[in-house]
Amino acid sequence: MGAWIMAGVTFREAARKKLLWTALLAGVAFLALFSTGLHYQVKDLTHSSVPPLIRNQLLSAMLQVGFYAVDLLAVIMTILTSIDTLSGEIASGTIQAIATKPISRWQILIGKWMGFAGMIAAYIAVMFGGVTFVGRWIAAIAPRHAFRGGMLIFLECLLLLTITFCSGTRFSTLTNGVIALGLHGIAFIGGWLEQIGAAANSPRLVTVGVVSSVIMPSEALWRRASVEMQPSFARVLQLTPFANASAPSGIMIVYAVAYLLAAMALALYYFHHRDL
């Protein structure tokens, strides 16, 4: 019960952050831009003599651009809104009035996590749904496995959320931000190195990318989501930056879930044992 009460108040707390509304506004602005771009792309392709296969490939790539922007906005919004929830409340003493109530510390932590997870789910649903709707409405294209793609993006955000929670039980807000963004930065660069390595047939570069995904599997989840959402022939053609020459396997998803659970276990352990 205590966890649900905490989830409710945290959801409201998160939903009141200006950052969320700024991210939503940025998302709406992006959707408007994306709609306009897609509209003109469809118009130009209609008047040209591009074969249907290539036409679909180009429109699909454009859709991937849309989903990539949603992923990026959701990741940034996740990190920035949750970064101070534990460390900030521990530093200010706000947590003391809660932690002395008859609820366990794990309920406080899980409740807060659920509150943020709810807010992130709502954000992704709006933005992901928006891009899917625009794609269908303007270009009559749809992602291959929209649900899987959306869920993988959600999992990526949950992973980063859990990292900020884990780090927030130990470090100050600023340090927590550096850790979360730093880890995602490693994953991001590593992901691109793996892509370039695969395209250039450089196994060592691919290995560097895989190692970076082991250190932080967040970007690998996006790349897997991208693979799930693209038409099956897109990977073969490799005409776009989202072609995913080296797609993360299902094992990487399992690894990411295990990573999340381990980070959560660590967060619970640290939060239970630390002085408030």
Q: Report, in Å, the least distance between residue 96 CB and another protein.
A: 4
Q: How far is CA 47 from CA 43, 44, 56, 138, in A?
A: 7, 5, 15, 16
Binding to another protein by CB under 8 A, coded x per residue (else -) over 83-112, reads ---------xxx-xxxxxxxxx--------
Q: Report, in Å, the least distance between residue 190 CB and another protein.
A: 37
275 binds another protein (CB under 8 A): yes
> Quick one: 170 or 235, whose CB is closer to another protein?
170
16 binds another protein (CB under 8 A): yes
> Quick one: 168 or 209, whose CB is closer to another protein?
168
> Quick one: 5 or 76, whose CB is closer to another protein?
5
13 binds another protein (CB under 8 A): yes
Give, as one character, the DSSP assignment of residue 19.
Answer: H
The residues near 11 (Cβ < 8 Å, ≥ 6 apart) are 115, 116, 118, 119
CA neighbours closer than 13 Å in the CB half-sphere of residue 17: 21
276 binds another protein (CB under 8 A): yes
Q: How many residues appear in the chain?
A: 276
Nearest to 79 by CA among 224, 216, 268: 216
18 binds another protein (CB under 8 A): no
- In angstroms, rounded to a whole number, what is the distance separating the alpha carbons of residues 14 and 9? 9
Under DSSP, is residue 236 helix (H, G, I), strand (E, B) or coil? Answer: helix
The stretch near another protein (CB under 8 A) out of 6-14, 189-197, 204-212, 246-254 is 6-14
> Quick one: 99 or 142, whose CB is closer to another protein?
99
> Quick one: 203 or 275, whose CB is closer to another protein?
275
The stretch near another protein (CB under 8 A) out of 46-54, 74-82, 160-168, 268-276 is 268-276
The distance from CA 60 to its chain's CA centroid, rounded to whole angstroms, is 20
Q: Are 210 and 191 in contact (CB under 8 A)?
A: no
Q: How far is CA 25 from CA 10, 77, 187, 259, in A?
A: 21, 12, 27, 32
In the list 18, 47, 204, 273, the residue contacting another protein (rule: CB under 8 A) is 273
Q: Are 134 and 28 in contact (CB under 8 A)?
A: no
> Quick one: 204 or 273, whose CB is closer to another protein?
273
Q: Report, in Å, the least distance between residue 80 CB and another protein.
A: 18
Number of residues that bind another protein (CB under 8 A): 22
> Quick one: 43 or 101, whose CB is closer to another protein?
101
Nearest to 212 by CA among 232, 237, 184: 184
Q: Where do contacts with another protein occur on this chain (CB under 8 A)?
A: 2, 5-6, 9, 12-13, 16, 92-94, 96-104, 273, 275-276
